[in-house]
């Protein structure tokens, strides 16, 4: 199927969805459209792959037995997308609904997010074309499933963003509320009448929801911006809990890279930060660090946090620039760096490289002794000559109420309650003459920490903490 024929087929299906669901409510139609759009993306991505190659690649892509049952479901859908695209398109919405029911009923929400994380940390970006295409189609299929896992799947202005340490789903408001609805209403009127004056009519649909969109090009740009934002949130969801939720970007990122390309600080040299980060000397403060980039041509501020996840330390980041916010993560064990810029291969070079260099420099400056925390150090790795850098650890909140000499005196007091706190691992100084146990040393080595003789590594653990009861 050629480009023109494919787009005609998409338009016919969107028209059919409009006829069937528009009068049942725009949120219902939006959810059907999101499923259909994913179906189109999957079909297009694997269109040049033979069925045998698709099946073999998909089968060997999942080696972890924990995800076997989940994997088979999505592999079967990929097979259907290749063998019978019409049937795949008809079934995808029902498939998502049924899968969501099973995931909720069997308590597999956290496992599903772990499944997404497995894919994200198994880097396929530079493998052969077939494997890369199957990987991208698989990820598209998985990420859309999150739309159906929300407590109210028809609340289209909210997104699945993570899960609490108690297993409760976390939602966040979309930064692009109403953008889907504007497009739905516009298309409905185009489908319903023969004449449409784009110069007169186009902008009013988007202005209703607060968007300055006046033509097809600006509408397409908004859709791209919204898609990049959604992918950023969903890609972070395995690592988002109640303690890391502030990593989520609060606004989108302008995708018109050519408008500000010259402001992006270029990478200087070829320093290997990933090698340095394999022998870290410190952990980040539990609440993270903020780095202010004053007078930078492009960057403004970033937040870094660590989370222990699936036997690896993950460095999460949120980056504010002059054109919006982006976020992502760095897996210290696999060396995988992920951001929305790296999802789009056209943006990896220069822009993606600059962001990766910035984040890994800041992380290395705080957790190693090789890279310095200074503006001079920053400017030696990125061409941003007027920038001044300020590091700021984020202070924590005192969890145990003051005025008590012993925590036991709180027991039985209904003004306070206990919660289970998940504590990330950290490096601790030992008393003179003591040394780390073999177990602690092995754990530190596996996670990429370099210990001195008088240091030990405290593995992640849970503890009970007293907090003021909410009224």
Digit-by-digit pLDDT tens for the chain (471 residues) are: 678 899 899 999 999 999 999 999 999 999 999 999 999 999 999 998 988 888 888 777 777 777 888 888 899 999 999 999 999 999 999 999 999 999 988 888 888 888 888 777 665 555 678 888 888 888 889 989 999 998 888 999 999 899 888 778 889 999 999 999 998 998 898 888 766 676 677 888 899 999 998 888 888 889 888 988 988 898 899 999 888 999 999 889 888 888 888 999 999 999 999 999 999 998 898 888 999 999 999 999 999 999 988 888 999 999 999 999 999 999 999 898 988 766 544 444 578 899 999 999 999 999 999 999 999 999 999 999 999 999 987 655 434 334 434 333 444 455 555 555 556 677 777 777 777 777 777 777 778 888 887 788 777 655 545 455 554
According to the model, what pLDDT value does residue 27 have?
94
138 with 281, same domain? no
How buried is residue 45: exposed, middle or buried, by Cβ count under 10 Å (0-12/13-18/19+)?
buried
- Confidence at residue 215, expressed as pLDDT on a 0 to 100 scale: 86
Contacts of 142 (CB under 8 A, 6+ apart): 74, 115, 116, 119
pLDDT at 469: 58
Q: How many residues does the chain have?
A: 471
Which residue range is the domain that position 437 belongs to?
A: 407-468
What local confidence, expressed as pLDDT, does residue 263 receive?
Answer: 93
Q: What is the pLDDT of residue 310?
A: 81
Flag whether 244 is in a domain: no
Q: How many CB atoms lie within 10 A of CB 261?
A: 11
Give pLDDT, residue 417: 58
Q: In the listed set 208, 239, 270, which residue is the last one of a domain according to the structure?
A: 239
Q: Read off φ and ψ for residue 163, nearest 5 degrees.
A: -150, 140
In a domain, 401, yes or no: no
Alpha helices in 159-215 (DSSP H): 179-192, 198-207
Residues 310 and 340 in one domain: yes
Q: Are residues 347 and 436 in the same domain?
A: no
Q: Check residue 409 and give its pLDDT.
A: 42
For residue 411, the model assigns a pLDDT of: 44
Looking at the fold, whether 191 and 94 belong to one and the same domain comes out as yes
DSSP string across 312-374: EEEEEEEEEETTEEEEEEEETTT--EEEHHHHSHHHIIIIIHHHHHHHHHHHHHHH-SSS-SS
pLDDT the model gives residue 300: 96
Q: Is residue 43 part of a domain?
A: yes
Which of 239, 268, 296 is where one domain is finished? 239
Residue 273 domain flag: yes
Total domains, the chain: 3
Residue 130, Cβ density class (10 Å: 0-12 exposed, 13-18 middle, ≥19 buried): middle
Q: Which two tokens stand for residue 328?
A: 């992502």
Q: Is residue 92 part of a domain?
A: yes
Q: Are residues 388 and 433 in the same domain?
A: no
Tell me, what's the pLDDT at 139?
A: 86
Q: Which of 212, 392, 210, 393 is nearest to 294 (CA)?
A: 392
Q: Are residues 95 and 204 in the same domain?
A: yes
Please indicate, yes or no, whether residues 204 and 313 belong to a single structural domain of this protein. no
Please indicate, yes or no, whether residues 222 and 256 belong to a single structural domain of this protein: no
């Amino acid at each position: 199927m050629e480009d023109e024929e494919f787009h005609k087929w998409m338009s016919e299906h969107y028209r059919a969805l409009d006829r069937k669901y528009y009068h049942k409510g725009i949120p219902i139609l939006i959810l059907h459209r999101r499923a259909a759009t994913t179906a189109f993306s999957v079909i297009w991505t694997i269109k040049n792959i033979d069925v045998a190659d698709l099946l073999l690649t998909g089968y060997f892509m999942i080696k972890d037995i924990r995800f076997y049952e989940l994997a088979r479901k999505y592999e079967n859908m990929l097979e259907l997308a290749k063998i019978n695209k019409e049937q795949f398109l008809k079934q995808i919405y029902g498939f998502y609904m049924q899968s969501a029911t099973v995931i909720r009923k069997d308590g597999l929400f956290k496992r599903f997010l772990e499944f997404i994380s497995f894919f994200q940390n198994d880097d396929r970006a530079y493998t052969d074309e077939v494997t890369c295409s199957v990987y991208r189609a698989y990820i598209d299929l998985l990420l859309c499933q999150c739309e159906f896992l929300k407590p109210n799947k028809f609340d289209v202005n909210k997104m699945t963003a993570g899960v609490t340490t108690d297993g409760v789903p976390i939602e966040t408001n979309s930064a692009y509320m109403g953008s889907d609805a504007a497009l739905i209403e516009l298309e409905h009127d185009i489908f319903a009448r023969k004449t449409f004056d784009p110069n007169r009519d186009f902008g009013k649909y988007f202005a209703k929801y607060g968007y300055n969109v006046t033509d097809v090009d600006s509408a397409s740009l908004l859709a791209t911006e919204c898609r990049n934002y959604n992918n950023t949130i969903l890609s972070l969801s395995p690592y988002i809990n109640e303690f890391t939720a502030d990593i989520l970007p609060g606004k989108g990122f302008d995708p018109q890279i050519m408008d500000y390309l010259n402001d992006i600080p270029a990478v200087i040299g070829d320093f290997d930060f990933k090698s340095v980060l394999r022998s870290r000397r410190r952990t980040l403060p539990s609440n993270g660090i903020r780095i202010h980039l004053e007078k930078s041509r492009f960057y403004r501020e970033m937040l870094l946090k660590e989370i222990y996840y699936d036997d690896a330390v993950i460095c999460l980041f949120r980056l504010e620039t002059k054109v919006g916010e982006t976020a992502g993560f760095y897996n210290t064990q696999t060396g995988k760096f992920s951001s929305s810029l790296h999802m789009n291969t056209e943006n990896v070079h220069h822009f993606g490289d600059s962001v990766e260099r910035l984040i890994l420099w800041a992380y290395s400056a705080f957790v190693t002794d090789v890279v310095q925390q200074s503006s001079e150090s920053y400017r030696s790795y990125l061409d941003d000559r007027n920038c001044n850098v300020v590091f700021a650890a984020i202070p924590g909140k005192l969890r145990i109420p003051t005025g008590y000499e012993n925590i036991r005196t709180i027991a039985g007091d209904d003004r306070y309650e206990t919660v289970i706190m998940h504590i990330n691992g950290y490096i601790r100084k030992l008393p003179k003459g003591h040394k780390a146990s073999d177990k602690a040393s092995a754990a530190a080595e596996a996670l990429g920490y370099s210990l001195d003789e008088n240091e030990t590594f405290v593995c992640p653990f849970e503890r009970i903490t007293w907090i003021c009861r909410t009224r």
